[in-house]
Amino acid sequence: MRLKISAPQLFATVSLLLILGVAVSIGITQSSFYKNAIIERDARTVQDLVQALVTGRQSEGQLSVTDLEEYDTDRAQARLDQSFRGLTNVMGRARIKVFNRDGTIAWSDEPRLIGSPATRHTQDLARALRGEVRAILFDPEGAPKNPLDVFPASPLIEFYVPFSLAGGEPPGATSGALALYRSSDDLTDTIAKGQNLLWAMEGVGGLILFAALYGLFRRVYYGKRKAESQFARLSAEHTRLMQLERLSAMGQMVSEVAHQLNNPLVGVINLTELAQRELHNPERMKELLAEVRKAGADCRRFVQSMLVLNKVARAEPQLIDMARLVHDTIAFFQQSLGGEPRITMEATQGPVMVEVDPVLIRNALFNLIHNAAQADPAGHVTVTLVLEECAGVPRCSISVSDCGPGLALEVQNRLFTPFFTTRAGGTGLGLSIAKHIAVLHSGSIRAENKREGGARFVISLPLHA
């Protein structure tokens, strides 16, 4: 069975491991730095003590470079003993050795070591004689045994500090080095306490960082989950509302279709009943059958309009010259109506290339021109084609203006509603189809009243689909 891990649990595990790794690496680095800093501090303290001691003795004329070089004389030993004997009071002291520049022990609290090069760390001594301060932690238990140089069994720290005496060559050069061996118990205890404090601070800091990051992640994660849940719920609600709206629109359309077909069908039924009673009157029969034919023609025209509305949902755009399409549509309309009313076309010079479905655009434009002609049959219709830019997008606008009575406010609000019409015998689908065609081409259509009278319908289309 696969173990499922949630995103917060995965984040907690990964972040905790990362913080632990960083805290451990920083803790190791800081612990090492702290240990070295404490040891170096003690070494500098010993150096300052030794330098102050020899400087004071030299200023009193009680110590010189010669005493280090001629250490085997009684006078030199007496002066060296008086100079360095005070260091034997250092807490935890285990051994003191004073080396001259040759690396030979000129004085020690263990007289048997005087005159020998006895030291376990010759390289550190050499570096001290070159002016460096050295400090070494070591355990005498594991060191080679020297019967003349016996140490206690506890761990020690060994300081090698240089000192200078006036009169040396060259001036200011290191005159010798002092090695001080002392118990490291106090020092290691101080280091351990400091390191424990550092680790505790690292741990507390890491936990605070983890808690802050995890808390932030939880807020962001569950906030996102909540937002996604709300968005999904809103999407579902929106989808449901859209479905209800579609069903409502479909129901309204079915109702309108039924109404539009019912009226002529009722007339057909009534006319046929009348025709049955007038079988003996052929002339009356002809009149009634003519009315039946007219009602059937109305039904056919309505069904054809519905079929056109269905075809609007499918467009096959191609690059065409819109100026030519408008010109051809006007010419076709005038031929179909015998040249009335008078139609004027105003367009920019040259071709206007637009990516549209020419059949659908011609249908929409024909409907607008037809409506304008019916608004004022004896008037004048103007079709204008212009190029403009809207929100940085180049567009082509086709406006159809008439000189009729204009549009009432209550009519403007319902102009593009399917089946809405103010004209007797109209289907109410022409403007609705025109709007669908415009929207299908990512365009728009609007209706407005002109200041000088009449109405204007404007189709705005982007130059490229």
User: How many other CB atoms sit within 10 Å of the CB of residue 355?
Assistant: 14
Give φ, ψ of 354 to 5 degrees: -135, 145
Is 352 found in the same domain as 224?
no
Is 206 found in the same domain as 179?
no
In the chain, what percentage of residues exceed pLDDT 90? 11
Is 350 found in the same domain as 282?
no
**pLDDT tens digits along 130-184:** 999 999 887 777 666 666 666 666 788 899 999 988 766 677 688 899 999 888 8
Question: How many domains, in total, are found in the chain?
Answer: 3
pLDDT at 133: 92
73 pLDDT above the threshold of 80: yes
CA nearest to 445, candidates 376, 397, 378, 395: 397
* Residue 217 counted as domain residue: yes
By residue count, the chain amounts to 465
Is 222 found in the same domain as 348?
no
107 pLDDT above the threshold of 90: yes
Is 97 found in the same domain as 71?
yes
349 pLDDT above the threshold of 90: no
**pLDDT tens digits along 316-347:** 788 989 889 888 888 878 776 666 678 888 88
pLDDT at 400: 92
Is 342 found in the same domain as 202?
no
Which is it for the CA torsion 56, 61, 65, 69, positive or negative?
negative
In the chain, what percentage of residues exceed pLDDT 70? 84
82: containing domain: 7-139+153-183
- Mean pLDDT rounded to a whole number for the chain: 82
309 pLDDT above the threshold of 70: no
Interatomic CA distance for residues 246 and 238, integer angstroms: 12
pLDDT at 260: 58
Is 338 found in the same domain as 265?
no
Is 341 found in the same domain as 454?
yes
Mean pLDDT of 410-417: 79
* Residue 249 counted as domain residue: yes
Is 320 found in the same domain as 289?
no
Q: Assign 388 a pLDDT band (cuts: 50, 70, 90).
A: confident
3-class secondary structure per residue, 216-285: HHHHHHHHHHHHHHHHHHHHHHHHHHHHHHHHHHHHHHHHHHHHHHHHHHHHHHHHHHHHHHCCCCHHHH
User: In sequence order, what are the residues at sequence separation of 6 or more whose Cβ sits closer than 8 angstroms to the Cβ of residue 177?
Assistant: 98, 99, 125, 128, 129, 160, 161, 162, 163
* Residue 189 counted as domain residue: no
Is 250 found in the same domain as 103?
no
pLDDT at 264: 66
Which of the two residues, 268 and 259, has the higher pLDDT score? 268
Alpha carbon of residue 201 to chain centroid: 33
Give φ, ψ of 67 to 5 degrees: -65, -35
Task: Give me the CATH number covering residue 364.
Answer: 3.30.565.10
User: In sequence order, what are the residues at sequence separation of 6 or more whose Cβ sits closer than 8 angstroms to the Cβ of residue 178?
Assistant: 46, 50, 84, 87, 96, 97, 98, 99, 159, 160, 161, 163
Rounded to two decimals, the pTM is 0.48
Interatomic CA distance for residues 184 and 192, integer angstroms: 12
* Residue 144 counted as domain residue: no
Is 126 found in the same domain as 247?
no
Q: Assign 256 a pLDDT band (cuts: 50, 70, 90).
A: low
* Residue 251 counted as domain residue: yes
Q: Assign 208 a pLDDT band (cuts: 50, 70, 90).
A: very high
Is 250 found in the same domain as 213?
yes
Mean pLDDT of 78-98: 88
**pLDDT tens digits along 264-289:** 676 677 777 777 777 777 787 777 77
Task: Give me the CATH number covering residue 94.
Answer: 3.30.450.20
Mean pLDDT of 391-405: 87
pLDDT at 9: 84
